[in-house]
A and B are shown apart, each in its own frame.
Chain A
Amino acid sequence: MFFHIVLERNMQLHPRHFGRSLRENIVSKLMKDVEGTCSGRHGFVVAITGIENIGKGLIRDGTGFVTFPVKYQCVVFRPFKGEILEAVVTMVNKLIPDDMEFQSGDMPNYTTSDGSVKIQKDSEVRLKIIGTRVDATEIFCIGTIKDDFLGVINDPAAA
């Protein structure tokens, strides 16, 4: 699920960035540093939406770099165990088929025995996350489509 959240980060800035555009420099550096990262705790930082406050800078001994504590708002994506969400199939690999059969070929897919449902690349499925592995820098999830109202919601082949 996506969240809007306030995070804080200490930004170190070289003195050359000081001046009138200091704030802009801080913000753009923040975006560069933060957007697209993933922390296990907060998930993927998708986009910074605003700056709440930039604290007083502290000059670092020896280097001249200045550290600014920055509070910023951002949109994060963080999956949770138990969450139901919709997703696009990006890859079909041969993982233990259950009630569906794996069809290899140009467009590998899983098909039910009666052929009515097919899961292939670009299919949209609704799934429930049953496990997550959260590291400092990555989040892995596994999900299931075996539950009520889960499964393929849109078949690109049919469309």
Chain B
Amino acid sequence: MPLRRRDEDDDEMEPEDDEEYGEEGEQQALDDEELEAEEEEEEEEEEVETRRGGSSRKRRRSDFIDDVAEEDDEEEEDDDDDEDDYGGGGRRGGGGGGGGRRNKKPSGSQFFDLEAEVDSDDEEEDEDGEDDFIDRDVVAEEDDHRRMHRRPLLPREDDQEDVEALERRIQQRYARSSHTEYDEETTDVDQQALLPSVRDPKLWMVKCAIGKEREVAACLMQKFIDKGSELQIKSVVALDHLKNYIYIEADKEAHAKEACKGLRNIYAQKVMLVPIREMTEVLSVESKAIDLSRDTWVRMKIGTYKGDLAKVVDVDNVRQRVTVKLIPRIDLQALANKLEGREVVKKKAFVPPPRFMNIDEARELHIRVERRRDPMTGDYFENIGGMLFKDGFLYKTVSMKSISAQNIKPTFDELEKFRKPGENGDGDIASLSTLFANRKKGHFMKGDAVIVVKGDLKNLKGWVEKVEEDNVHIRPEMKGLPKTLAVHEKELCKYFEPGNHVKVVSGTQEGSTGMVVKVEQHVLIILSDTTKEHIRVFADDVVESSEVTTGVTRIGDYELHDLVLLDNMSFGVIIRVESEAFQVLKGVTDRPEASLVKLREIKCKLDKKTSVQDRFKNTVSVKDVVRIVDGPCRGKQGPVEHIYKGVLFVYDRHHLEHAGFICAKSQSCVIVGGSRGNGDRNGDSYSRLSHLRTPSHIPQSPKRFPRGGPPIDSRGRNRGGRGHDGSTGATVKICKGPFKGYRGRVKEIKGQTVRIELESQMKVVTGKSTFDRSCVSDNLAVTTPYRDTSRYGMGSETPMHPSRTPLHPYMTPMRDPGATPIHDGMRTPMRDRAWNPYTPMSPPRDNWEDGNPASWGTSPQYQPGSPPSRPYEAPTPGSGWANTPGGNYSEAGTPRDSSSAYANAPSPYLPSTPGGQPMTPNSASYLPGTPGGQPMTPGTGGLDVMSPVIGGENDGPWFIPDILVNIRRSGEESVGVIREVLADGSCRVVLGSSGGGDMVVVLPVEMEVVVPRKNDRIKIMGGALRGSTGKLIGVDGTDGIVKVDDTLDVKILDLAILAKLA
């Protein structure tokens, strides 16, 4: 152990020097540190030293040694600070072996104790002492290599002789680091340039003895110092987290091996090359250096104060030590006893409660209190038994390792306590900003309102657009600024305004909701919904939400967010629990419907774990994240909370209504993050096809839609009697049971049973509608006698395929499912009351039916799986559709766009999709394809979407001159301005956005209205104001806020009936 010995000698000889130079070197090193916060840099630093070794050999040597010596100091302090008791014990123990040295400098036992502390995992440090005493030599040996470990990464400049060289070096380093400092701003390209290339030296991984990594690295360094450039290696890296290996940077393997020759503990037989791509990873640091600065809140990791909140008052980056102030946990009596030399009764596991130090009290106990002035700061401290107190706080200097600064979230209680004497609290609250410095990642989400709290842009408000790593891109509120700004996460704080309704998502108040009544910097004061009291929370802990929680979250067996079956057979999710009732978001998908439900109205809780298929036939189960791609909630995204009857309840925290729950058809959703590839291709395409179909049926069920009733709901409606008018009298076909295949007219619907007058037999039968009711309803809705679908089969799931067939003739290809059918997709269906009356009877359908009666009679491929879907498609004659200008609506539809899906589709359908030609009755060819696709495509999605459009358009032809349209024909897309609408619905369009191009005639299906954006001039295409122009001054969900030119009125209109004016 020659090395070790030398350390000791150094210690003996120049402790004072040590201190002195420390001052200066510290300063410099401190700066250094600031510039290079990353340990990685420091590592490199070392490498640099190695390379430079040749030139300043002598210095480096002493450096290396002194370094270790200094470590001793630190460790001693550690001891003292961290655990008095055990420190004492250790000393006693050390006394046995260490002899007289003890007092002067820390002895081996000190190290030993420290190590023991580390080993014992912070838990038992109170107990170690004599028991653990180990022979000093052993300690020393162990110590030796451990110290290598603990050696601070930053090299110290401790050789005061060579000040100039030192200065040079520091300058050099500054230059270097100023480089790195700009890293943050360097572009990706620059960063790329820094990555190692094939021409750079390679990194070799060399095996060494476990635990000797650092030592080996140091030896290599020493060797380099001794041999200079003979050694053709560039650097050596030992990583703390990598045992058993070190890295050597060298051009050739041979160089690395050569360098290792003759060294102990290194096994150079096996040298592995680190692939270039992994080189950077080797040297990246996983745990980010924490930003410790004055006023940062930290928590103690070990010792009596473990877990206690502390505030940093001083940081010594060189020594890796910080001075913190905390509320003392001192048993004055015990202290007095100890100081007077009385026997200290060691009480285990007793930690005195935190209490501010009362000096007078201490004096009463005859504890010696010295009042001293700190020469550095000029502040006065009370010194009691070596501990420093000020204002009742304990000031304590500890190693950085013994505090944790990451994600410290002091509670208000703690902060309140902390501000106790003398402080009015402002300072503390202000320093809350430091809380944000070390918070978790992934904190901001798109759409969050934020405010900049630091830097030049302070107080700038904006909305989060994108979050990437540390940088958050925000869309600033102020005009005249770039569209988005990248701001460092730490400079941002969530922003709320009084009046916002929020939910607390973390911290002690987690779960409460309330309205913001006041914003004090980072602290919000919220008026709780439950208690009507105010609570203080950090802005960071809060998200905007419409959810309201009361204290109670359950009544009986039902709890908030449970899926329940109601006694009218509708179902929904409990979104709020009130004193005696639940608010339930019904499982209807075309519009959110919440109602108040009494306990007795709930039949049971539904907690079946089922899974359904999404639009692309991927399986969706509970907790999967889906995005809603059409329907009123299009664009929302969140985890699926419940699945029932093909309806998903999705939770989107950004959805401010209904406690964040959204009800959507599975078909309107796509799974996010799931692979689309796994669905079988056929299915895929089918599903898409079936989508096509779906919209067509809409016009046809005039009775149903006006009420906005969603399919699922229908049963409830029937029961409630509301549906009677719509369904009785409808002609249906029975699809199961003895009367299977018969057609008849619905005479009466009562609960679950239906009485049907059979056409052929002139007799009335009663069927039970145990089968899917949505099927029923759909059939019911259909008034055309032709397509009677048998519904009253018993529990049959298969009822209506007949229905589905008709549409295919029409299959207006243009309304492709994959593409969002409506152009803005958001048309909430319920808006339009008027349903196109003329569609239902489209003759082609009839033909069809007559032509292929057999086809529907049996539905072999019919999968019971998705009953609701069928009804949908069934009635869709589609024909009406195609002809109505609305058809064009489904812009998406044109098969050309949905290229991929289509391409894969085996269905004969494809060829026949003439786009413009809705009437092509190539049913035969089409047929085969359909059944497969059917089951899964409830098609409802399409339905919702489309429906409003139609409604809107009843008022007349959809297109209207002077509006801008996108034209899609022959595979290309262009913009044009409608000049004239022809009698057949097609339009004369002048190409070019300003109308300067050629005049062409375009079919409605080939064009789509250009959706206006905010501040666009618009023309209203439907409703009472049809033909009026105006300006779109705002968009709110699916509504456009329009200022009408003529009247200057501000109207809220469905975006779907607004077109951008050319």
Question: Once bound together, how far apart are the Cα atoms of A58 and B594, in whole Å?
Answer: 25
Q: Are A136 and B583 in contact (CB under 8 A)?
A: yes
Binding site for A on B (CB under 8 A): 497-501, 515-518, 525, 527, 529, 534, 546, 548, 576, 578, 583, 594-596, 721, 724, 750-751
Q: A136 and B515: CB pair below 8 A?
A: no
From 56 to 75 in chain A, residues with beta carbon under 8 angstroms from any chain B beta carbon are 58, 60-62, 67
> Does A53 sit at the interface, judged by CB under 8 A?
no
Given A58-B721, A140-B515, A140-B529, CB of A133 within 8 Å of CB of B498: no
Give Cα A130 to B499, complex, Å.
Answer: 5
- If A60-B721, A96-B525, A142-B498 touch, whether A133 touches B515 (CB-CB below 8 Å) is yes
A131 touches B721 (CB 8 A): no
Q: From residue A123, how far is it (CB to closest CB) to chain B in Å?
A: 19
**Cβ B500 vs Cβ A133 within 8 A:** no
A140 to B518, CA, bound (A): 16
Q: Out of A62, A96, A131, A133, which one reaches B534, CB within 8 Å? A: A96
| Complex Cα spacing A131 to B527, Å | 11
CB of A114 closer than 8 Å to a CB of B: no
Min distance, Cβ B591 to any Cβ of chain A, angstroms: 13
**A interface bracket (residues with beta carbon within 8 Å of B):** 20 to 34
Cα distance A28–B500 in the bound complex, in angstroms: 40
A67-B499 contact, Cβ under 8 Å, with A133-B529, A135-B548, A135-B583 = no
Cβ contacts under 8 Å, B515 to chain A: 131, 133, 140, 142
6 CB < 8 A contacts A-B: A61-B721, A95-B525, A95-B527, A96-B517, A96-B525, A133-B515
Tell me if B750 and A61 are in contact (CB < 8 A): yes
Bound-complex Cα distance A142 to B525 (A) = 12
Determine how close the nearest CB of chain B comes to the CB of A38; give it in whole angstroms. 12
- B518 near A135: Cβ-Cβ < 8 Å: no
CB proximity of B727 to chain A, nearest CB, Å: 13
Q: With a CB–CB cut-off of 8 A, which chain A residues contact B721? A: 58, 60-61, 67
Contact B594 A95 (CB under 8 A): no
Give every chain B residue within 8 A of A130 (Cβ-Cβ).
497-499
The residue of chain A having its C-beta at the shortest distance from the C-beta of B546 within the complex is: A133
Of B497, B534, B576, B750, the contact of A135 (CB 8 Å cutoff) = B576
B517–A142 touching, CB < 8 Å: yes
Q: Which residue of A58, A61, A62, A131 contacts B498 across the interface (Cβ within 8 Å)?
A: A131
CA distance A133 to B550 in the complex (A): 14
Confirm or deny: A112 has a beta carbon within 8 angstroms of a beta carbon on chain B: no
A131 to B518, CA, bound (A): 11
Q: Name the residue on B nearest A144 (C-beta).
A: B498
Complex contact B750–A136 (CB within 8 A): no
| A133-B515, A136-B595 known; A95-B501 Cβ under 8 A | no
Pair B576/A131 contact, Cβ less than 8 Å: no
The smallest beta-carbon distance between B517 and chain A, in angstroms, is: 5
A137 contacts the other chain (Cβ, under 8 Å)?
Answer: yes
> Chain A residues with Cβ under 8 A from B594's Cβ?
136
CB A146 to nearest CB in B, in angstroms, measures: 9
Q: Which residues of A contact B578 (CB under 8 A)?
A: 137
Task: Tell which of A60, A62, A81, A95 has the most Cβ of chain B within 10 Å.
Answer: A95
| Closest CB in chain B relative to A94 CB, distance in Å | 9
Bound CA–CA A144/B751 (angstroms): 53
**Interface membership of A148, Cβ < 8 A:** no
Is residue A98 within 8 Å, beta carbon to beta carbon, of the partner chain?
A: yes
Query: Closest residue to B497 on the A side, CB-wise?
Result: A130
**When chains A and B are docked, how far (Å) is the Cα of A142 from the Cα of B498?**
8
A95 touching B534 by the CB < 8 A rule?
yes
Among A58, A60, A133, A144, the one with the most B-chain Cβ atoms within 10 Å of its Cβ is: A133
- Bound complex: CA of A144 vs CA of B516, how far in Å? 12
Closest to A128 in B: B499
Interface residues of A in 79-94 (CB under 8 A from B): 81
Closest to A129 in B: B499
Contacts of B525 in A (CB 8 A): 95-96
Complex CA gap A62/B518 in Å reads 56
Q: Which residues of A contact B595 (CB under 8 A)?
A: 136
Asked whether A133 and B518 contact (CB < 8 A) given A60-B721, A67-B721, A142-B499, the answer is no
Cα distance, A58 to B724, chains bound together (Å): 10
Hey, which chain B residues are within 8 Å of A129, CB to CB? 499
* B-chain residues with CB within 8 Å of residue A133 when the two chains form the complex: 501, 515, 529, 546, 548
A142 to B751, CA, bound (A): 46
Docked-complex contact A96 and B518, CB < 8 angstroms: yes
Tell me the nearest residue of chain B to A67, going by C-beta: B721
Cβ-defined contact, B517 with A95, below 8 A:
yes
- Identify which of A58, A61, A98 gathers the most chain B CB atoms within 10 Å of its CB: A61
CB pair A81 B499 closer than 8 Å: yes
- B500 lies within 8 A of A131 (CB): yes
CB distance from B581 to the nearest CB of A (A): 9
User: In the complex, what's the smallest C-beta–C-beta distance from B573 to chain A, in angstroms?
Assistant: 15
Given the complex of chains A and B, what is the CA–CA distance between A96 and B516 in angstroms? 12
The interface residues of chain B lying within 8 Å CB-to-CB of A136 are 583, 594-596
Contacts of A62 in B (CB 8 A): 750
Question: Per-position contact with B for A110-147: 1 when CB-CB < 8 Å, else 0?
Answer: 00000000000000000001111101110010101000
Specify which chain A residues have a CB less than 8 angstroms from the CB of B548 in the assembled complex.
133, 135
- Please measure, in the bound complex, the distance between the C-alpha atom of A61 and the C-alpha atom of B724, giving whole angstroms: 11
Give every chain B residue within 8 A of A96 (Cβ-Cβ).
517-518, 525, 534
CA distance A58 to B499 in the complex (A): 45
- The smallest C-beta distance from B1052 to any residue of chain A, in angstroms, reads 14
For the complex formed, measure the closest distance between the CB of A79 and the CB atoms of chain B, giving whole angstroms: 12
Assembly CA distance A61 to B596 (angstroms): 24
A59 to chain B, nearest CB (A): 9
Which residues on the B side are within 8 Å of A140 (C-beta)? 515, 529
Q: Mark A38-61, 1 if CB is under 8 A from B, else 0.
A: 000000000000000000001011
Residues of B within 8 A of A135 (CB): 548, 576, 583
- Of A81, A137, A142, the residue contacting B596 (CB under 8 A) is A137
Asked if B516 contacts A131 (CB within 8 A), the reply is: yes
- Residues of A contacting B501 with CB < 8 Å? 131, 133
17 additional contacts (CB under 8 A) given A95-B517, A135-B583 = A58-B721, A60-B721, A62-B750, A96-B534, A98-B518, A129-B499, A130-B498, A131-B500, A131-B515, A133-B515, A133-B546, A135-B548, A136-B583, A136-B595, A140-B529, A142-B527, A144-B498
The distance in angstroms between the C-alpha atoms of A108 and B499, with both chains bound, is 25
Which residue of chain A has the shortest Cβ distance to B501 in the bound complex?
A133
Residue of B nearest to A63 (CB): B721
Chain A residue numbers with a CB within 8 Å of B546 are: 133
**Interface-central residue, B497, B721, B724, by most chain A CB under 10 Å:** B721
Question: Complex: how many Å from CA A62 to CA B751?
Answer: 10
Q: How far is the CB of B555 from chain A (nearest CB, A)?
A: 16
Minimum CB–CB distance from B412 to chain A (whole Å) comes to 13
CB-CB < 8 A to A95: which residues of B?
Answer: 517, 525, 527, 534
Nearest CB of chain A from residue B134's CB, rounded to whole Å? 60
Bound complex: CA of A67 vs CA of B720, how far in Å? 11
CA distance A60 to B546 in the complex (A): 37
Minimum C-beta distance from A60 to chain B (A): 6
Most chain B C-beta atoms within 10 Å of own C-beta, residue among A67, A96, A132, A144: A96
Q: Taking the nearest CB of chain B, how far is it from the CB of A126, in angstroms? A: 17
The smallest C-beta distance from A130 to any residue of chain B, in angstroms, reads 4
Complex interface: chain A residues within 8 A of B517 (CB): 95-96, 142
Q: Using Cβ atoms and an 8 Å threshold, which residues of chain B touch A81?
A: 499
User: Nearest-CB distance from A47 to chain B (Å)?
Assistant: 23
Report chain A residues within 8 Å CB of B518.
Answer: 96, 98
Q: How far is the CA of A62 from the CA of B752 in the complex (A)?
A: 13
CA distance A43 to B108 in the complex (A): 79
CB-nearest residue of chain A relative to B534? A95
Cα of A159 to Cα of B999 in the assembled complex, Å: 78
Identify the 6 closest CB pairs spanning chains A and B, nearest first: A131-B499, A130-B499, A131-B515, A130-B498, A142-B515, A96-B525
CB distance from A81 to the nearest CB of B (A): 6
A residues near B583, Cβ cutoff 8 Å: 135-136
| CA–CA, A60 and B751, complex, Å | 12
Chain B residues with Cβ under 8 A from A144's Cβ?
A: 498
Q: Complex Cα distance A88/B703, Å?
A: 49
A81 to B499, CA, bound (A): 8
